[in-house]
Amino acid sequence: MNKYTVKFSVFIFEKEIRRVDMYLSSLFKDQSRSYIQKLIEKWNVLVNWKIISKHEKLRKWDEVEMIFETEKMEIAAENIDIDIVFENEDFAIINKNPWINVHPVPWEWWRSGTLVNALLHHMNWLSVINWIERPWIVHRLDKDTSWLLIIAKNDKSMRSLQVKMNKRTIKKTYLALVNWIINDNEWYIESFIWRDQFDRKRMTVIDPLNPRLAKTKFKVIWYLENRYTLVEVDLLTWRTHQIRVHFSSIGFPIIWDKTYWNLKANEVILNKYDLKRQFLHAYRLEFNLFWVDYSFIGEFKADLKKIYDKIELL
């Protein structure tokens, strides 16, 4: 892989005052905060064209410029099965399988077996975004989550879909199976959420770093074994791990959530149903693109369907 320099320049439109290293590590999620701090120490980060320290606070209308060295990855097409729900000249809808990364990463052992590798094999309408060759994947998701994923097929579609994502006009509906019985038919959860100051890999509602308001609405659909509740979830905001953190925070964690629940409870599900990931599936997408309304349903994958079929309708 050949190394070359990449330069990013962004304007701050938020009113909240934030440290520059925290802001950039949240903006570039594939870079660690310590890496950002090293760039600042090397004078590779400027605010309003001035050299700054990692403690510098950002304010509205500041201009931030970051320069770093990166590598262009050679990504190979691979014959990996993908579940294409819909496809037209503007976009495709993929029902993503669990246990597959969406994008390759620079480490050699993670440059293959991803959704990007699969799309390179199955489709010929790929584009180039900035410094990495990849399909126009509109949004991201966890590796072990299955759900409907939008793939834009041209620049016009990508720009329009990204605007809709930013304005929250694309409606995503999830199904989740949570521990314990929820008696109320409908719930609404609102809290501030962001990274745990003691564990960067976790999100939290307790004294989060750079808190962001998160809103989740859900309703009860079915019960299982008088111990678990199947819920339909509508996200009113889109924060990292929002569904998982919110349900854990109110005492109804999603089953087999390895980060926000305990090992003993997960082992019960593993032994009984052979489930090895959280029961969370984004099964419906609704949006309007170029004056046409679309609605898609993604069927459960086999491991979740085995449990879903045992649930009795209320």
What pLDDT is attached to residue 4? 47
pLDDT in tens, the chain (314 residues): 445 455 666 666 666 777 888 888 777 666 777 888 888 888 888 888 888 888 888 888 788 888 876 655 567 788 888 888 999 999 999 888 887 777 665 544 456 778 888 888 877 655 444 434 445 777 766 666 777 889 888 878 888 887 888 788 999 899 999 999 999 899 999 999 988 877 777 888 988 777 889 999 999 999 998 889 999 999 888 888 999 999 999 999 999 888 888 777 778 888 888 888 889 998 899 999 999 999 999 888 888 988 888 885 44
pTM of the model: 0.71
The DSSP H or E segment spanning 115 is helix 115-122
The beta strands (E) that lie in 181-271 are given as: 186-196, 199-204, 212-224, 228-235
What pLDDT is attached to residue 291? 95
Domains and CATH numbers, the chain: 3-71 (3.10.290.10), 84-166 (3.30.2350.10), 171-313 (3.30.2350.10)
SS3 122: helix
What pLDDT is attached to residue 208? 78
CA distance 47 to 49: 5
Helices (H) and strands (E) in the chain, counts: 7, 20
What pLDDT is attached to residue 187? 92
142 an active-site residue?
Answer: yes
What pLDDT is attached to residue 186? 93
The DSSP H or E segment spanning 9 is strand 3-11
| Burial grade of 69 (CB within 10 A; 0-12, 13-18, 19 or more) | exposed
What pLDDT is attached to residue 108? 46
Sign of CA dihedral 20, 21, 23, 29: positive
Active-site entry in 21, 62, 90, 142? 142
CA distance 217 to 79: 39
Please report which residue ranges of the chain form alpha helices under DSSP H: 20-27, 33-41, 115-122, 155-166, 242-249, 263-273, 302-308
